[in-house]
Structure 1
Amino acid sequence: MLLLLVVIFTLSACASSDNEPNGNAGNAQYSAGSDNQEAEADAGAANDAEAQGEDAASGGGELIVVDQNIAASLDPVQPLTSSYLRKIGAAEALFKVNAAGETVPELAEEATQVDPTTWEIRLRPGATFWSGAAVDADAVIASLERSRANDAQAQPFLAELTLEKVDAATLRVTTSRAQLPVPLNLSYYQTVIHNAGQAHDSVETMDLTGMYRVTAFTPKQSMELARNEHYWGAAPAIERIVYEEVADEQTRVLSALSGRSHVVYQIPVTSMPQFESREDVEISAEPAANTQTVYLNLSRPQLADVQVRQALAWGVDREELVIAAAEGQSTPVTTWLGSNPAFAEAKNAVYSAYDPDQAGALLDDAGWMLGEDGIRYKDGEPLQLRLMTWGQDQALGEALQSQWGRIGVQVEVQHGDYSLIQTARESGDWDASIEAWSTFGEELTLLQGQYAPEGSGNYGGYNDEETNALLAQLAEAADQQSRRELTLQINTRVAEQAPVISLYPRPQLTAVSTALQGFEPHFRQFEHIVHAGLTLAAR
């Protein structure tokens, strides 16, 4: 059986969206003090590990990481490539976000806000690319400009920034609007720093800065990495990493349970019982800063009525959804920003409790009357909607189908590939769909993306004068307190108008072997998962 499992894992490590915009305001000065403390802690953990066993003492060991998807390319400007490179310890940005949600320096040493539209960033001395080339102002600007020109996903974070060299160790960033949190924008994975003068089409020519170098790569199958012996920071204790793509969720589960892998991402919630009695592997269930959201097509006649949308929002028992669809591995939120740790007070705003009676009253007022068959009708037409789901959200769709059925709404759940949702949106032939966008980031960028008329995440065509006016005020707000107040007002206004229905943060389950010490859960999984303090106990 062991041999059979090894063969299955070997053969299945082959080809298979969580959507994320960004930004978030922080302090006017960012120094490397806390980051140096992290580096010292990492180094201390590595030193402690040397006394734990021969494997750690030799500085060796091989970490095996399994994911649902890995990169299809080595070039950081190709779609999603930079997220996987950063996740596995190969790529770094000027800044990073720690598990507490604080923006701290990475390749930068310090950032200072000179005035409302100007920042100066001093680079970390001694930082180099794998090739030995210096990470200086020229290299950083060339990298970010290459990302701006070639990576459409980098545009939201770079479009409002003008970069110029002050000296070899310093660059000046000018923003097109006041109080833009530049360090946070430059922490996102699309802004990883790479040597723009090198070709990134092979492991021999790619040139990044991370503590691990890529040594072998098969697109959408596997990536092998070795410790970067000339890394500018604390040297990692683990010598090698193997990063594999396993699209099938049950094969990923078996990889974790067999002990073959040390870290396995994207464990389905339905597999939680298989880990309950295990002592050799644990589930990390750090809540993600995103919100499982039902997007509604406001061009549909039944959904154009705000009372119908509000009734759907009141008719959701979020506590029940967390149990039925997330195996209890999340917490309810009633507004879109509720999953952002910086806006915890929004978690239970507006729809403060499950209230089917309120939902029924709103539908009555809107002219949708309950028939003898339990379905509501208006002008002889039933109140129907088709709810499209994908990935691991089928159970969530079916739970909503049951809950909305209790208030007289006839729901059809259509589960399939995400491409079906995209096609339906392009044609306009859809009623409702579920997905989760990140809620952590710079407030205006996030909210415009979701609720401005031309926002990339405004799938349903929401166009509300009051919301638009508040967004315009937020764009002009000069201080952080005003920005916060306006952000909460927009969040509340949108919830009241209900173009979307917020449910709970999408579960983020990772299986971690107890042989691996130092794993750090993070609400942004691509952030700082592989770090110098990781150690492997001898087996």
Structure 2
Amino acid sequence: MTFSFKKTLLAASVSLAALMGAAKAQEAVFVLATSEVGTPTYNPIKAGNLNKATTLIFDRMVSQAADLSYHPWLAESWEEAADGMSWTFHLKPGVTFHNGEPFNAQTIKDWIPLFAGSDNAYMVEAIAEVQVVDDLTVKFVMSRPEPNMLYNLSSSFMSVVEPKAFVALGDNYGVTEVYGTGPFKLESFTIGQETVLVRNDDYTWGSPLAKNQGPAKIARLTFREIPEDSTAFLELKTGGVDMLMTVPADLMGEVQKEANLTLLTMPGQDVYYMPMNVTKAPFDDIKVREAAAKAINQEEILASVFGGVGSVANTFLISALPESHVSDTSKISYDPAKANALLDEAGWVMGEGGVRMKDGQPLKITLWTQSDSVFRRLTEVVQAQLKAVGIEAEITTFDSSMIRDQYKTGEQQAAVRSYNWDNADIVDWFFGGDRLGYPNVSMFNDPKAEELRAKAMTGSKNMEERVANFTAYHDYVLTQFPMAPIYQPVDAVAYNKDRLALPEVINGIGVGAIAIMDMEVKE
């Protein structure tokens, strides 16, 4: 009996150890991009900034492939009326939210009005009425055509929320509790530190762009927020985390030196740029803004800060977008002779120490940046380039999780920052006159720009017109120099190949929900 008991106990211990090992093997730890550090909520309707974890808590009506084409998700199919004045969506059956509520046409009817009064209301403002045709068919009756409808419905800011919980929880929705239909559920969220997600075992309705429609192969996923890139890399190198969701160019070589690490690069959706506050001296003078913009040597920055990885930016939009194809005269490129001539014309005379003077005052500005290492290095180079034409910039560094709140004060003169987006409506977002402070860091509110903005956002009957209207809007904004474009990175992630297996082909935008559905944790 004693032997049998010991044998049984040993077998049970081995089984328990195997189960514990299997459970551990299904867990993974990712580090969010530094630009996503400090995201304050998982409320997609009210948020101005979201992170990758959002794409796993929620699904969207439409999924977008790597080639920017649109595919089904929660909507199995759709039709747009020939005149653009209605859209009909046929919904996927059998979908439920994390709190057990069903997803159906009534969900959509209750969800769309929740955007009213939010910063993201523009995404649904063309929808005049939502009609429930039957339980799985919904119709949008439009007040005007909206050629960008499918893009909006594929955006994480139009992640489908559970309407009853959204209303009941109020401002706590997305902070203490959050309910989507996504492949993962929120277990815990500590702002600025980490988010822990657990697998939704009932999930079987993933995007067809992934081989696996569900459930996910990873059982538990932790997203850590580490604002210092070198610290995040050390964690990856030593096994503390399994993946970095972004890798700066200067660390790519270090990743490639490690036998157990793999670097994956994809076309990026980021642009680094220097916004200038057009309401504060000296940038209330367009000549000074143009001079500062043309003092930025994008090629030098690409080589010295980013190791030649990526490409220079000379407009505000990523080059993959047709709306980036503005006139050559509107593109912003390095031209120190022009920069110096403009400052001379504006009355700023070169003084002692290489700093220009006017009316006894030096040409000094504050240059805001965030605390992570790439931004610090980039800002120091920008500081030196401005000094070369006589502009002295004093760098002010803010914690990456706090800088957006600082912009809302409107006290910035200039800054070095970036955005991540792959649609031309980002011009509206960052230069719209009704969003001063943040996201409109430049405090730009120009009457002609507002006319062009309205035409771009609401005056297009089809996509061809929208591209033309946004190109004209983008072109004009560039001529007013509310910012200086700097750099377009690639989208690079690094992961421990001994721990993670990634799909051979990722047919999505970056490493998001579609890629993560096909990821596996190795035993």
TM range (shorter): 0.7 to 0.9
Is 1:98 aligned to residue 98 of structure 2? no
CA distance in 2, matches of 1:347, 1:275: 39
Contact 2:315–2:332 at 8 Å: present in 1 too? Answer: no
CA distance in 1, matches of 2:264, 2:286: 39
Is 1:487 aligned to residue 432 of structure 2? no
Contact 2:79–2:89 at 8 Å: present in 1 too? Answer: yes
Partner secondary structure for residue 338 of structure 2: helix
In the TM superposition, what whole-angstrom CA distance separates every residue of 1:477-524 from its partner, at most 9, and x where no partner exists? 323323212212222222121011111236654222224221738655
Contact 1:285–1:329 at 8 Å: present in 2 too? Answer: no
User: Counterpart of 1:65 in structure 2: which amino acid?
Assistant: V
2:9 alignment counterpart: none
CA distance in 2, matches of 1:194, 1:463: 33
Q: Structure 1's 434 and 205: CA in aligned 2 closer, same or farther, altered over 3 A?
A: closer
The Cα shift of 1:296 comes to 1.0
In the TM superposition, what whole-angstrom CA distance separates every residue of 1:242-272 from its partner, at most 9, and x where no partner exists? 2142435344323311234332224455543
The Cα shift of 1:118 comes to 1.3
1:402 alignment counterpart: 384
The Cα shift of 1:64 comes to 0.6
User: Counterpart of 1:477 in structure 2: which amino acid?
Assistant: S
The Cα shift of 1:387 comes to 0.7
Is 1:447 aligned to residue 447 of structure 2? no
In the TM superposition, what whole-angstrom CA distance separates every residue of 1:319-344 from its partner, at most 9, and x where no partner exists? 11123333434311111124553445
* Amino-acid identity (%): 20
Is 1:123 aligned to residue 91 of structure 2? yes
1:243 alignment counterpart: 222
The Cα shift of 1:414 comes to 1.4
1:534 alignment counterpart: 519
2:124 alignment counterpart: 158
CA distance in 1, matches of 2:406, 2:202: 50
1:13 alignment counterpart: none
Map residues 206-225 of structure 1 onto 2, 5 A cutoff.
207-214=179-186, 216-217=187-188, 219-220=190-191, 221-225=194-198
CA root-mean-square deviation: 3.6
1:337 alignment counterpart: 317
CA distance in 1, matches of 2:217, 2:329: 45
CA distance in 1, matches of 2:402, 2:198: 36
CA distance in 2, matches of 1:313, 1:142: 46
CA distance in 1, matches of 2:49, 2:481: 35
The Cα shift of 1:92 comes to 0.5
CA distance in 1, matches of 2:174, 2:310: 40
Q: Which runs of 5+ in 2 are unaligned?
A: 1-17, 207-212
CA distance in 2, matches of 1:429, 1:212: 40
Q: Structure 1's 133 and 213: CA in aligned 2 closer, same or farther, altered over 3 A?
A: same
One of 191, 195, 206 as aligned partner of 2:162: 195
1:308 alignment counterpart: 288
Partner secondary structure for residue 373 of structure 1: helix
The Cα shift of 1:388 comes to 0.8
In the TM superposition, what whole-angstrom CA distance separates every residue of 1:432-463 from its partner, at most 9, and x where no partner exists? 1122234423x4x4333333322353333323
User: Counterpart of 1:245 in structure 2: which amino acid?
Assistant: R
One of 85, 99, 105 as aligned partner of 1:137: 105
CA distance in 1, matches of 2:203, 2:399: 43
The Cα shift of 1:165 comes to 0.8
CA distance in 2, matches of 1:236, 1:448: 38
One of 133, 138, 148 as aligned partner of 1:181: 148
2:244 alignment counterpart: 264
CA distance in 2, matches of 1:206, 1:454: 29
CA distance in 2, matches of 1:179, 1:239: 38
The Cα shift of 1:403 comes to 1.0
1:38 alignment counterpart: none
One of 417, 434, 445 as aligned partner of 1:463: 445
Partner secondary structure for residue 63 of structure 2: strand
CA distance in 1, matches of 2:66, 2:282: 42
CA distance in 1, matches of 2:177, 2:451: 49
Partner secondary structure for residue 471 of structure 2: helix
Contact 1:252–1:267 at 8 Å: present in 2 too? Answer: no
The Cα shift of 1:93 comes to 1.3
In the TM superposition, what whole-angstrom CA distance separates every residue of 1:270-296 from its partner, at most 9, and x where no partner exists? 543431212321233435323222111
CA distance in 1, matches of 2:503, 2:295: 43
In the TM superposition, what whole-angstrom CA distance separates every residue of 1:14-55 from its partner, at most 9, and x where no partner exists? xxxxxxxxxxxxxxxxxxxxxxxxxxxxxxxxxxxxxxxx99
Contact 2:364–2:393 at 8 Å: present in 1 too? Answer: yes
In the TM superposition, what whole-angstrom CA distance separates every residue of 1:162-184 from its partner, at most 9, and x where no partner exists? 32211111111123332342222
Contact 2:280–2:413 at 8 Å: present in 1 too? Answer: yes
User: Counterpart of 1:464 in structure 2: which amino acid?
Assistant: D
Q: Which runs of 5+ in 1 are unaligned?
A: 1-53
One of 409, 412, 416 as aligned partner of 1:434: 416
Q: Structure 1's 316 and 521: CA in aligned 2 closer, same or farther, altered over 3 A?
A: farther
In the TM superposition, what whole-angstrom CA distance separates every residue of 1:68-122 from its partner, at most 9, and x where no partner exists? 45877676667479755443x3321111222222232210011211132211111
The Cα shift of 1:383 comes to 2.0
Taking structure 1 as the reference length, the TM-score comes to: 0.77
User: Counterpart of 1:369 in structure 2: which amino acid?
Assistant: V
Taking structure 2 as the reference length, the TM-score comes to: 0.79
Q: Structure 1's 349 and 290: CA in aligned 2 closer, same or farther, altered over 3 A?
A: farther
Contact 2:349–2:357 at 8 Å: present in 1 too? Answer: yes
Contact 1:275–1:283 at 8 Å: present in 2 too? Answer: yes
